A and B are shown apart, each in its own frame.
Chain A
């Protein structure tokens, strides 16, 4: 069973990817916010708790590692399911280091993202 409103945060520096992912997730009925890097993501987390965070690895200003460190320090969105999305070759290792709940390699099928987000939401509920 899906919750009434599920919140998803998309953190991705590539504008097209970010906007398109957000569009698809809105179509799926999620409440979506998006950020171009870690700093913007932290701003969203101030007073808004997403169920799922889709997180790019390499971003300007604040990358995924710095974001996760700061997120834990501040105790923000501690229950959110985090999915790392990247074209990096060592993605699985990166996901482990980031203590993420899943990872998706670029390029990916849309169904992959939608499906994983749904599974994580079911697991969380």
Chain B
């Protein structure tokens, strides 16, 4: 006859009342096990039996504990929250319930327990009580916690090392970049003094020298501004004021500002009459300025820079394309990280923070920025999407 899988098999219930020797062995087994607290609760949660494992885990002798309610093993908070009764209810309803948590020993100390509570039902199906099997997992939990602590410490250490590396890299780049205009300033000024001492200081020399000094000063100012931008952005408190902003007007303003340096017609703009986004006008100016500045800096002076503004559903895209040294794969992968200037751009002045700052601003507007490599393989293309709403 095929066995019914839903019916308990004969072997499990084999130790029956008809087999007193089997009964005794089962009783001995339960009583002797030391690693598990195994005991029986009445349907309302009073303790009916106690084994050696229970005494070892919880500290009570059978004489002290039998007849008491099992809620004495729970913390006051869990007792107040009604957890013991809730667990009995769950076991009664579902047949069993498993639980992990802090339990209280007789001496008041706590241990981390893994508990299985199983409803015991007679052949009639009536609830006769609960089997409660508890394992002390304190050591395992402590080991796990220690491991997690060590992992967290290791992570913190790695992050700190990474921060130190980044700081060193920053100091190295910043000092190199700041020293160059300082060197030109010093050289230009000393040159003027030497010429004066030698009686060679004519008007042409004064003019050239003064222009050199001014140019170096402007470069220093730009570097310092870049540094300040980073420090302002890294402090989150500078809030964005997002208002409806015509990005086309922003683009035109930036292009007008670059017209002198770039020469006439080098920057070409294709845009609708207006395109409104929700943004901070001064920050968006900075985004466009950085992208145009990069395009001019990384491409030959005779090559055009193209700006496209497209009004899309729900957003506006701004594309800045140049025909310069372009973006190789390695550069694209780290494009928006701080100080991650392309290997092919080591000689270009600046701190390598422009795209990092740009990315931060765009992200805080809820927008997106991408650096694309055009299929032709010449030049770099940057595209920014900005949402139209002001939220």
A88 vs B173: C-alpha distance in the bound complex, in angstroms? Answer: 9
* Complex partner residue of B215 from A16, A24, A88, A106, CB under 8 angstroms: A16
| Distance to closest chain B CB from A62 (angstroms) | 10
A20 within 8 A of B: yes
B194 touches A27 (CB 8 A): yes
A107 touches B191 (CB 8 A): no
Q: Using a CB–CB distance below 8 Å, which chain A residues touch chain B?
A: 13-14, 16-17, 19-21, 23-24, 27, 58-60, 63, 87-89, 106-110
Residues of A within 8 A of B216 (CB): 16
A63 vs B190: C-alpha distance in the bound complex, in angstroms? Answer: 27
- Count residues of B near A (Cβ-Cβ below 8 Å): 25
A71 vs B38: C-alpha distance in the bound complex, in angstroms? Answer: 87
Question: Who on chain A is nearest to B200 by CB?
Answer: A27
Q: Using a CB–CB distance below 8 Å, which chain B residues touch chain A?
A: 172, 175-177, 179-180, 182-188, 190-191, 194-195, 198, 200, 212, 215-216, 346-348
A23 touches B215 (CB 8 A): no
* Complex partner residue of B183 from A58, A88, A108, CB under 8 angstroms: A108
Residues of A within 8 A of B212 (CB): 16, 19-20
Residues of B within 8 A of A107 (CB): 179, 182-183, 185-187
**Which applies to chain B's interface (DSSP): helix, strand, loop or mixed?**
helix
A87 touches B179 (CB 8 A): yes
Residues of B within 8 A of A88 (CB): 176
A58 touches B187 (CB 8 A): no
| Distance to closest chain A CB from B183 (angstroms) | 4
A17 touches B183 (CB 8 A): yes
Which 8 A-B pairs have CB atoms at the shortest separation, nearest pair first?
A: A107-B183, A87-B179, A106-B183, A110-B190, A16-B184, A60-B347, A87-B176, A107-B182
A87 touches B183 (CB 8 A): yes
**Which applies to chain A's interface (DSSP): helix, strand, loop or mixed?**
loop
14 pairs of residues in contact across A and B, judged by CB atoms under 8 Å: A16-B187, A16-B215, A17-B183, A17-B187, A19-B212, A24-B191, A24-B194, A63-B347, A87-B176, A87-B183, A89-B176, A106-B180, A106-B182, A107-B186
A110 touches B194 (CB 8 A): yes
Also in contact, A110 and B176, with CB within 8 A (given A27-B198, A58-B346): no
Residues of A within 8 A of B348 (CB): 60
A21 vs B187: C-alpha distance in the bound complex, in angstroms? Answer: 8
| Distance to closest chain B CB from A36 (angstroms) | 10
Residues of B within 8 A of A20 (CB): 184, 187-188, 191, 212
A17 vs B62: C-alpha distance in the bound complex, in angstroms? Answer: 93
* Complex partner residue of B175 from A89, A108, A110, CB under 8 angstroms: A89
Also in contact, A87 and B175, with CB within 8 A (given A16-B188, A24-B194, A27-B195): yes
Residues of A within 8 A of B180 (CB): 14, 17, 87, 106
